[in-house]
Structure formats: C-alpha cells, structure tokens
Amino acid sequence: MKALILIAIGSALVNNVVLSQFLGICPFLSVSKNAKTAAGMGGAVIFVIGIASLVTSVIYKFLMVPLGIEYLQTIVFILVIAALVQFVEMFLKKKMPPLYESLGVFLPLITTNCAVLGVALTNVTKSYGILESVVNGLATAFGFFIAIVLMAGIREHIEGNDVPKTFQGTAIVLVTACLMSIAFMGFSGMI
C-alpha cells in the first residue's frame, strides 16, 4: 500500500508528466484556452490512460511475456492504444451518451498523445505489476489534469493582461509553463 501511494505521488506531482517529463505537450499548449475544455481534456486523458495502462500491462504480462515477444512492445502498445481509443469512443457513443458528449471530441486526439504510450512503456521499464501500472497510469493522468487545468486558469487571466507584443500567443504560454515547472520542482524533495 505504501509503495502504491509513493508511486501515485511520484507520478502525479514530483515527476509531473507535462512539466517535468514533457509528454503530452501538444494538448497542454493547444487545448488549454479555457478551464472548461481543459478539464474535459484532462478527464478524457485520465479515462484513456487508466484503461490503456490496464490493458497494455495485462497484454504484456499474459501474452507477450509467455510468448517471449517483449521486444515488440512499442509496436504492440501503439496499435493496442489506437484500437482501444476507437473502441472506447464507439462504446461511449452507444452506451453512455452523456459521458460521450463531454469527452467524445477529445478521444481521437488522445491516440496521438505521447503520454499514453509513454506511460505504457514506463510501466514496462519499471517492471510494475498490473495494479501498480494502473495506479501509475491514473496518477500520471491526474498530474496531466492538474497541469492543464491550472494552465487554462492562468491563460484566462493572461487574456486581460498587457503582454509584450513579441511574446503574445504561444511564447507567453511557454513562459507560464516554465514558471509552473519551477513551482512543481518544489515537490522534488517529497519522496
């Protein structure tokens, strides 16, 4: 239990997926213009990464290790993730329309999100079991959620500020990300 909590805190705060590992930068910069959409994107990422880390670790443990094909992990994981996202999208559309309404638009975007593949590969590299993988996945995704929602909140305020002309747009967002990253470095002594 203690190990799981340490994994969770480590992945969500200390090694934040966006601010210290630079995975999922694209949605972090492009879908963070307002807090509501950012929260939607964050929710969708938690959902997909949670399922993806479960499925990839089950496939790895019960299919790839017995067959001795661990070296195919990159190919298998990216295909599994792509298929999974399509499947989840169809399932939600059919069975849970309200959830689909709020997450649906973000789902296809997530296939390309390097964070999903990154988490699946990290789980293998650190030889996490299935439960640890899911915890690590959910915590990483929660870290993404925190980062993107905070960023969206800050960006809503930047809108009304007098930003130097050269830095308007992406540049000021990156400066903000830099400051957030410094703030998150403060967690580094926790574990």
- Say how far apart CA 51 and CA 91 lie, in whole Å: 13
Which residue, 3 or 182, has its beta carbon nearer to another protein? 182
- As given in the structure block, the two tokens for residue 9 are 């805190």
Site string for another protein, 126-165 (x = CB under 8 A): ----------------------------------------
Is 12 a binding residue for another protein by CB under 8 A? The answer is no
Which residue, 77 or 142, has its beta carbon nearer to another protein? 77
Q: In whole angstroms, how close is the CB of 122 to another protein at the nearest point?
A: 6
Which residue, 14 or 135, has its beta carbon nearer to another protein? 14
- Nearest residue to 111 (alpha-carbon basis) of 137, 142, 86, 146: 86
Applying CB under 8 A, the site for another protein has a residue count of: 57
Is 186 a binding residue for another protein by CB under 8 A? The answer is no
Per the rule left: phi > 0, alpha: psi between -120 and 50, beta: everything else, 182 is: alpha
Which residue, 91 or 101, has its beta carbon nearer to another protein? 101
- Say how far apart CA 92 and CA 172 lie, in whole Å: 37
Q: In whole angstroms, how close is the CB of 114 to another protein at the nearest point?
A: 5
- Nearest residue to 14 (alpha-carbon basis) of 22, 3, 6: 6
Q: Are 163 and 175 in contact (CB under 8 A)?
A: no
Is 121 a binding residue for another protein by CB under 8 A? The answer is yes
| Helix, strand and coil percent figures for the chain, each rounded to 5 | 80, 0, 20
Is 40 a binding residue for another protein by CB under 8 A? The answer is yes
Options 4-12, 53-61, 73-81, 139-147: segment touching another protein (CB under 8 A)? 73-81
